[in-house]
Structure 1
Amino acid sequence: MDRTITDLYINGKAVPASDGGRFDVLDPATGKVIASVADGTVADAIAAVDAAAAAAAQWAATAPRERAETLRRAFVLMTERAEDLARLITLENGKSLRDARGEMAYAAEFFRWYAEEAVRSAGVVTTAPSGQNRILVVRQPVGVCVLVTPWNFPAAMATRKIGPALAAGCTVVLKPASDTPLTALALAGLLADAGVPAGVVNVVPARRSGEVVSTMLHDPRVRKLSFTGSTEVGRVLLGEAADQVINTSMELGGNAPFLVFADADLDAAVDGAMIAKMRNAGEACTAANRFYVETSVAAEFSRRLAERMSALRLGPGSDENTEVGPLVNEATVSKVDSLVREAVAAGATALVGGRRPSQAGFYYEPTVLCDVRPGSAILHEEIFGPVAPIVTFDDEREAIELANDTEYGLVSYVYTGDLARGLRVSEALEAGMVGLNRGLVSDPAAPFGGVKQSGLGREGGHEGMLDYLESKYIAVQW
């Protein structure tokens, strides 16, 4: 089928919005319009749920091996089309081609992983302690799922949800971020080419996000919500989901600390910092947001990090030489600039960067701040940009207290040459994931998710498919 879809995708077809509405998608490198996309309405949301509900029983009854082979074909197609999809991501998201290609490899792996997991939805049979009966537990698909994804990883956040949902036997309605709908619509076409039946995957871009998602969450046929986005929106959606007691998975905001102890290999720590901070130009929930460095090595670490950051090439993501592309929109770059200005006004020093360049587009210079005051907003808000604020600490206890001083708990990073300390600190950190002497934690085979205000449930790994299954207990005697 034609992979260029700019309408809604419902029941296997590209269709216009019911009221004919459309919205523009911008290139962050220039601020210019690159496409016009159908703007879904409440009626369109119901039509998508209709399609998903109609396809649900047949897809749930499809043999696990057949579902697995469909996902495997999707992985192969995604790998074959990776370059075109990476360029599409760069066009609507702004990230460098290097980052977009990395996202495509990561995104495709969710289809491969869940192709393998689809045939491993094992139940349990045990004998009741009383000996009177058997306890038989079977796992069944939860039903129609609403998937709400963000703009920062438009392919990977979609496949991380679609993969396990389809593997489990669920049908879905995907509501992508309005900044980046083109990638989601391209994935819909790819999945159709892979053999996903009509109605199993539906995509409804919409500017009226709250109204459209709320309508679906109040439809009794919808039994699952999986959301990736801000904690503020997550709280609202949890309230909405409560009205119909909908199963929810929430991957929310982060405020990741990056701890560097004096006994760490500083070369490795700086390498890890560049990955943890600058992947996708800092526009990631897993991005290192606060750097805590032991006092005796803080100056040297800061110098090395500033040197590496200053060498990064800033420019349009479509340029092969670009290492840092533009941020996604004006609101994002304005927020980053405001946080940096506030920190500097309070006494921080910009070792490198610290301003918006004069060129057109939504750019911000890679920035390293030292002498950041503990109460600065930049340490308590998710930056979502290429800025590394550095604070010093004197001992392990203080480092842990500083790291845990946040309502968030998605991921933390620790660099130390002492394995015992590394494991001890990892256990003490209030985070769902820890990178120990490693700047990258994301892996389709691992359970991804946070604690505290960073979310509920896990995506990826075996746990990721369990989030789309209900356990049914049957008491039986034979």
Structure 2
Amino acid sequence: MSKVHTTIALPTGQKITIPTGLFINNEFVPALGGETLETVNPSTEEVICSVSAAQAADIDRAVQAARTAFKTTWGKHCPGTERGKLMHKLADLMERDAQVLAELEAVDNGKPVKIARDFDIGDSVGCIRYYAGWADKNHGQTIETNDLQKLAYTKHEPIGVCGQIIPWNYPIQMWAWKVAPALACGCTIVMKPSELTPLSALKLCELIVEAGFPPGVLNCVPGYGAVAGHALTYHLDVDKVAFTGSTITGRKIMEAAAKSNLKKVTLELGGKSPNLIFESADLDQAANWCLLGITYNMGQDCTAGSRVYVQDTVYDKFIQLLVKKFEQVKVGNPYDEKTFNGPLVSKGQFEKVLGFIEEGKKAGAKVLTGGGREGTKGYFVKPTIFAGVHPEMRIVKEEIFGPVLAVAAFKTEAEAISLANATTYGLGAGLHSNDAKQCMRVSGALEAGTVWVNQYNLLNNNVPFGGYKQSGIGRELGQYALANYTNVKAVHFNYGEELEWPLV
């Protein structure tokens, strides 16, 4: 086996060869200094393999490859129709390999295979296809001016080389969200996946080659944020950075952009999202959506509905329903098709979530179900509900990123809105009511980039997604995301007016 590939055995017994080198200029190569990092199976706590870890010199290589491709074979040198064809081919290949990709995701991330295959990869394929359709349709405008001898028109031109930094909670889906609009617009990419979950991003690079993308259009450089991420965000030949992750890191990226070359930045950051249950709601359905809102992806979701506020007149009935449903969630082996919650992604995340649970107990919150580890091996956490909480508790104020829910009661609509908006975040929010007027009032009053009414946590590739307040800058998905990867050029064209000089 080469230094940039290895063979691993999946829990099904199947052996697959995966790339472990950096992907630069359509080739897998070791880091120049030979540095590596280990990736761990969160179900078994065992090392899967080592992959190359990019350093500053490797980032420079990748950026140079991306710049060369932008100037020669991509950007303005590849028609939108051709970009769209290549993207459709990539989507077809991802669909073909969905099972293998899902199993790799389960090993590296802990995500249940069924969820990864049917939702994450299915949605990612749809995302690639959606933006493939935009590749030749991202037009400017012809603008009338004030006479018959001039016109103005706008062009949407690709920004250039884009650094993209994705998190570990949705390795394939976040890859697609970042890559698809950038490729459609004609940008080239240097992608840094999380050091915790690099394997699926590297496997997807094999499909980039198979689909026929020119060398340098997409480069993938796993590495640590403090080294590879730092080098990418400060690089003077990177024109734009797109980041999904914590608000703390988002601030550092904005600082890097300002101190380097004022590169454009889009940020999708954290959340502490509220979910409001009004007395007119279908309580059984509301409980189902609340369950999905906090246990989907083991609660490792930036829009996780981690604060539930229930009108006092239906509080007791709703809590009984919710606890019963929580206790039916199957936690365990991600290769079991019936498993809904696998392990958390890493030992660090596991300890962080358990730490929040213990702090909630010490602060006086009451555990209604869950409240600790599931089993004795692997990073499994029982879905947990806390009641008896107040706004100043850390489990109410801070993003936990695990299957931990805080529930409280409210009396009036105004109080519910006030509680919901009492956060520095503003990524998502939900409300459940069968009063149409109330739904309109409350959805308008909630300070969040996405508001779900009588549902939760479901997104669409053609609908924009992003945050208010400290939850980010810019929007992903839908037509809105195209603006993240284009510059608008205005051209003033004189085809008849002659200038007499002097003017006065």
Do they fold alike, i.e. is TM over 0.5?
yes
Q: What residue identity is the alignment partner of 1:279?
A: Y
**Residue deviations 1:98-139 (CA, integer Å, cap 9, x gap):** 221211111111111111111111101111357773221111
How far has the Cα of 1:383 moved from its partner?
1.6
How far has the Cα of 1:376 moved from its partner?
0.8
Q: Secondary structure at the match of 1:222?
A: coil
2: distance between equivalents of 1:78 and 1:420?
Answer: 43
Counting only pairs closer than 5 Å after superposition, residues 111-190 of structure 1 correspond to structure 2 as 111-129=128-146, 133-190=150-207
How far has the Cα of 1:193 moved from its partner?
1.0
Contact 1:218 1:241 survives alignment (8 Å)? yes
Q: Secondary structure at the match of 2:231?
A: helix
Alignment match, 1:441: 458
Percent of paired sites with the same residue: 37
How far has the Cα of 1:333 moved from its partner?
1.6
**Residue deviations 1:334-365 (CA, integer Å, cap 9, x gap):** 22122222222222211111111341111110
Counting only pairs closer than 5 Å after superposition, residues 317-356 of structure 1 correspond to structure 2 as 317-356=334-373
Contact 1:96 1:317 survives alignment (8 Å)? yes
Alignment match, 2:57: 43
How far has the Cα of 1:211 moved from its partner?
2.6
Query: Are residue 237 (structure 1) and residue 264 (structure 2) matched?
Result: no
1: distance between equivalents of 2:149 and 2:290?
Answer: 58
Change (3 A) 1:427 1:132: farther
Counting only pairs closer than 5 Å after superposition, residues 42-441 of structure 1 correspond to structure 2 as 42-57=56-71, 58-60=73-75, 61-101=77-117, 102-129=119-146, 133-207=150-224, 209-243=225-259, 244-441=261-458
Contact 1:121 1:168 survives alignment (8 Å)? yes
Q: Secondary structure at the match of 1:155?
A: helix
Q: Secondary structure at the match of 1:183?
A: helix
Q: What residue identity is the alignment partner of 2:21?
A: D
2: distance between equivalents of 1:169 and 1:74?
Answer: 16
**Residue deviations 1:269-323 (CA, integer Å, cap 9, x gap):** 0121122111101111111111111111111111111111111111121222322
2: distance between equivalents of 1:27 and 1:316?
Answer: 12
Q: What residue identity is the alignment partner of 2:313?
A: S
Change (3 A) 1:398 1:130: farther
Contact 2:304 2:457 survives alignment (8 Å)? no
Alignment match, 1:28: 42
Q: Secondary structure at the match of 1:426?
A: helix
Q: Secondary structure at the match of 1:29?
A: coil
Q: Secondary structure at the match of 2:65?
A: helix
**Residue deviations 1:384-404 (CA, integer Å, cap 9, x gap):** 111111011111111111111
Contact 2:288 2:325 survives alignment (8 Å)? no
**Residue deviations 1:192-243 (CA, integer Å, cap 9, x gap):** 1111111000000012x22322323333321010000000000000000112
Contact 1:5 1:185 survives alignment (8 Å)? yes
2: distance between equivalents of 1:131 and 1:259?
Answer: 57
Q: What residue identity is the alignment partner of 1:59?
A: W
Segment of structure 1 superposing worse, 99-108 or 59-68 = 99-108
2: distance between equivalents of 1:444 and 1:230?
Answer: 22
2: distance between equivalents of 1:334 and 1:409?
Answer: 26
Contact 1:99 1:279 survives alignment (8 Å)? no
**Residue deviations 1:50-76 (CA, integer Å, cap 9, x gap):** 100010022012110110011101111
Q: Secondary structure at the match of 1:72?
A: helix
Contact 2:391 2:397 survives alignment (8 Å)? no
Contact 2:145 2:151 survives alignment (8 Å)? yes
Q: What residue identity is the alignment partner of 1:237?
A: I
Question: In angstroms, what is the RMSD of aligned CA positions?
Answer: 1.5
- List gaps (5 residues or longer) in structure 2: 6-16, 496-504
1: distance between equivalents of 2:439 and 2:47?
Answer: 48
TM-score, length-normalised on structure 1?
0.97
Alignment match, 2:12: none
**Residue deviations 1:240-278 (CA, integer Å, cap 9, x gap):** 011211011100001110111111111110121122111
Q: Secondary structure at the match of 1:253?
A: coil
Q: What residue identity is the alignment partner of 1:288?
A: G
Contact 1:262 1:416 survives alignment (8 Å)? yes
**Residue deviations 1:169-213 (CA, integer Å, cap 9, x gap):** 000000000000001101111111111111000000012x22322
1: distance between equivalents of 2:146 and 2:415?
Answer: 48
**Residue deviations 1:418-443 (CA, integer Å, cap 9, x gap):** 11111111111110111111113321
Bigger-Rg structure (1/2)? 2
Segment of structure 1 superposing worse, 341-350 or 101-110 = 341-350
TM-score, length-normalised on structure 2?
0.92
Contact 1:306 1:367 survives alignment (8 Å)? no
Segment of structure 1 superposing worse, 148-157 or 264-273 = 264-273
Query: Are residue 451 (structure 1) and residue 465 (structure 2) matched?
Result: no
Change (3 A) 1:407 1:132: farther
